[in-house]
Amino acid sequence: MKPTFILLLGALSLPLWAQKPAPAAPTGLDALLQHPILPKDLFLTEVQGYCEPKVPRMPKVTTLDEWKAIENQTRRDVLDKIVFRGALAQQWRDAKTKVEWFDTLEGGEGYHIKKLRYEALPGLWIPALLYQPDKPAAKMPVYLAVNGHDGNGKAAPYKQIRCINLAKRGIASLNVEWLGMGQLRTDGFVHTRMNQLDLCGVSGLAPFYLAMSRALDVLLALPGADSSRVAVSGLSGGGWQTITISSLDPRVTLCNPVAGYSSFRTRAQFPTDLGDSEQTPNDLATVADYTHLTAMLGGRAALLTFNAKDNCCFASDHALQPLLDAAQPIFKLHGHPERLRSHENFDPGTHNYEIDNRQAFYRMIGDIFFANDASFNPTEIPCEKEVKEKAELDVPLPADNLDVHQLAVAAGKDLPRDAAKATREKLGEIVKYKTFTAAATKAGEETRDGTQAVFWKLRLSDTWTVPVVELTRGDAKSTTIVIADQGRKDAAKDIEGMLASGQRVLAMDPFAFGELTAGGRTYLHALMVATVGDRALGIEAGQIAAVSRWSAAQFGAKAAVQTIGPRSGLVALVAQAMEPKEVGELRPSEHLESLHGILLNNWTVADKPEMFCFGLLESFDVPQLKALAQKQD
């Protein structure tokens, strides 16, 4: 309580001229539009309840053969249907790994550092550092060091220390840069831009995966590399990389994800665990959960490390046990239950890969890779003086090195491909269109400055609840549904003109708009909807059509639809393209004339979650959507 008291005291001690006045309470139309209709956090409750049941459960198996058949099929499905979805992603997969070596840095006692870069896919180079023992064994273990959302990237001290310690123990360690971090920390590599590739029908996950698999190619091509001793480990996003590459690439024989992932079922219940775009890719949870990926480590070795007081994500108290529950039976079927281990960090217990977690990893390395070597010591070798500055570790990169945004712009250049196939059925398939029935409940009424408001809760197919404010001044001549990108609260200026002209206005907030949001984390919930096989765009369009049907039944005539902003404009256009007889005249404002504008404006899924519907631009642009909207069959 002491810090709070001090802060309050400081505020009270400010002179009157320095104190900011409290914001004025909204009045008139603004107050009516800002009036809350739904219970707080209903959006979170409904999206969690929608997603969690759709996440696949671990199958019940009794024999190893049963499990191996499931594992092999799951691995094929994840790679073919998710990671390398789209012809271009498959071309990237089939390209040859290119490596270019540069100068060698003096390390410390027993090792040196070689600079290199390798092509994750044609034109996209990854800088890396190889910590190589000065006297490697004839059969040398190898280790891939991945990292998470740390701007220092491969220069992060805790990562350098890990690589140095393993190199001093005779293990060649490849310290790679992650997309968007370190030397690749540029605007074009921001992770929420990978969904630009998704829009074009190309898996945005592919560059992330290829950056890891090509790194394994580099390690295993080293002279004397022991293919039976291949380790991967990393923190946070590096933990996600670890479980992803280790489960899907059997070349990895030991993995140690640190505070980097949890089951999708856990994520649905704990929003702190919702991860970036790459962690929640389109449709992954229609094929596998992270519990399946953990179980797929069976027959190899895994150390699951989580932190007890994690101040970021994946705290051990809720993230760890579901993974162990899923994997332990499979490790037993393989006859090596002891190869699945866990470590819970209490000091410092926050989001970290500091000495306690590192030494847990070294112990695992010793037990698995040096089982018969009594001289192996897992105690960390002090090497802080050998940690180098970021600039010293920089690797030359091509001036025209591609980034994710550039890849997406190139992928979208000639899209859509075949306008003749732009049918209503195809659109419904792409957006996963939902047809809802509406049951309306009046949630209150209020009159301000001559404007009458009725607050409605529309329950859609017993799944979603949509807030609608009905606004009138006197007898209404017609009805207009209004949807604004920033929510109904920001539509007062447009609505004022409609009311003045005698219109009834139905101001609604569909999924991920206005009252149906969760602050800056809204897009993460939209990603969860996409990973379980649906799309925010299809849900939102279906909600607009449902409100249109309800409006016609309630007020006796089809309503026009006024949109304010590119998001709402696209959603309403898809709704009309799917149900032209139900959705009335569109009156868009600030709308897109082409979906290519999404790429040209370099928007991200964090800003406009429904716009990055997988494969939409591959088959449709705005002209094709408008043509369907005008077709009444």
Residues 407 and 427 in one domain: no
Q: Which residues contact 389 (CB under 8 A, 6 or more apart)?
A: 155
| Whether pLDDT at 9 is above 60 | no
Residue 6 lies in a domain: no
The residue out of 411, 439, 455 marking a domain boundary is 411
pLDDT computed for residue 19 by the predictor: 52
Structure tokens at 568: 């709402």
What does each C-alpha distance from 161 to 107, 158, 222 come to in angstroms? 12, 5, 22
pLDDT computed for residue 207 by the predictor: 98
Closest CA to 617 of 451, 417, 469: 417
Buried b (16+ CB within 10 A) or exposed e, 108-128: beebebbbbbbbbbebbbbbb
Residue 330 lies in a domain: yes
Tell me the three-class secondary structure of 112-158, residue by residue. EEEEEEEEEECCEEEEEEEEEECCCCCCEEEEEECCCCCCCHHHCHH
Give residue 11's pLDDT band: very low, low, confident or very high (50, 70, 90): very low
Residue 16 lies in a domain: no
Residues 325 and 426 in one domain: no
The residue out of 393, 411, 429 marking a domain boundary is 411
3 state DSSP class of 452: strand
Arithmetic mean of pLDDT over the chain: 95
Mean pLDDT, to the nearest integer, of 170-183?
A: 98
Question: What is the per-residue pLDDT across 78-117, written as a single tens digit (0 to 9) for each?
Answer: 999 999 999 999 999 999 999 999 999 999 999 999 999 9
How many domains are contained in the chain?
A: 2
Structure tokens at 578: 């799917």
pLDDT computed for residue 379 by the predictor: 98
Residues 340 and 233 in one domain: yes
pLDDT computed for residue 303 by the predictor: 98
Residues 439 and 336 in one domain: no
pLDDT computed for residue 632 by the predictor: 79
Domain enclosing residue 329, as ranges: 71-411
Q: Which residues contact 41 (CB under 8 A, 6 or more apart)?
A: none
Residue 103 lies in a domain: yes
Residues linked to residue 420 through DSSP beta bridges, in sequence order:
none
Residues 309 and 425 in one domain: no
Residues 247 and 375 in one domain: yes
Residues 135 and 154 in one domain: yes
Q: Which residue has the higher pLDDT, 183 or 21?
A: 183
Mean pLDDT, to the nearest integer, of 424-441?
A: 97
Mean pLDDT, to the nearest integer, of 392-409?
A: 98
Question: What is the per-residue pLDDT across 528-570, written as a single tens digit (0 to 9) for each?
Answer: 999 999 999 999 999 999 999 999 999 999 999 999 999 999 9
Which CATH number fits the domain that encloses residue 171?
3.40.50.1820
Q: Which residues contact 405 (CB under 8 A, 6 or more apart)?
A: 187, 188, 193, 196, 599, 602
Question: What is the per-residue pLDDT across 28-74, written as a single tens digit (0 to 9) for each?
Answer: 999 999 999 999 999 999 999 999 999 999 999 999 999 999 999 99
Closest CA to 195 of 120, 124, 277: 277
pLDDT computed for residue 421 by the predictor: 84
Burial degree of 15 (CB within 10 A; 0-12, 13-18, 19+): exposed
Question: What is the per-residue pLDDT across 321-380, written as a single tens digit (0 to 9) for each?
Answer: 999 999 999 999 999 999 999 999 999 999 999 999 999 999 999 999 999 999 999 999
Question: What is the per-residue pLDDT across 203-236, written as a single tens digit (0 to 9) for each?
Answer: 999 999 999 999 999 999 999 999 999 999 999 9
pLDDT computed for residue 418 by the predictor: 83
Distance, in Å, from the CA atom of 622 to the CA atom of 625, rounded to the nearest integer, reads 5
| Cβ atoms 610, 434 nearer than 8 A | no
Q: Which residues contact 21 (CB under 8 A, 6 or more apart)?
A: none
pLDDT computed for residue 21 by the predictor: 56
| Whether pLDDT at 17 is above 70 | no
Residue 236 lies in a domain: yes
Q: CA dihedral in degrees (166, 167, 170, 175; nearest 10)? A: 80
Percentage of the chain lying above the pLDDT 70 cut: 96
Per DSSP bridges, beta strands 140-145 and 124-133 are unpaired
Mean pLDDT, to the nearest integer, of 238-257?
A: 98
Mean pLDDT, to the nearest integer, of 471-488?
A: 96
Residues 492 and 394 in one domain: no
Mean pLDDT, to the nearest integer, of 300-304?
A: 98
pLDDT computed for residue 420 by the predictor: 78
pLDDT computed for residue 22 by the predictor: 57
Per DSSP bridges, beta strands 451-460 and 438-448 are antiparallel
| Whether pLDDT at 463 is above 60 | yes
pTM (two decimals)? 0.94
Mean pLDDT, to the nearest integer, of 460-479?
A: 96
Structure tokens at 418: 């075949």
Residue 121 lies in a domain: yes
Structure tokens at 272: 């702190």
Residue 351 lies in a domain: yes
pLDDT computed for residue 139 by the predictor: 97
Residue 65 lies in a domain: no
3 state DSSP class of 396: coil
What does each C-alpha distance from 308 to 313, 418, 421 come to in angstroms? 11, 53, 53
The residue out of 411, 431, 447 marking a domain boundary is 411
Q: Which residues contact 600 (CB under 8 A, 6 or more apart)?
A: 409
Residues 401 and 492 in one domain: no
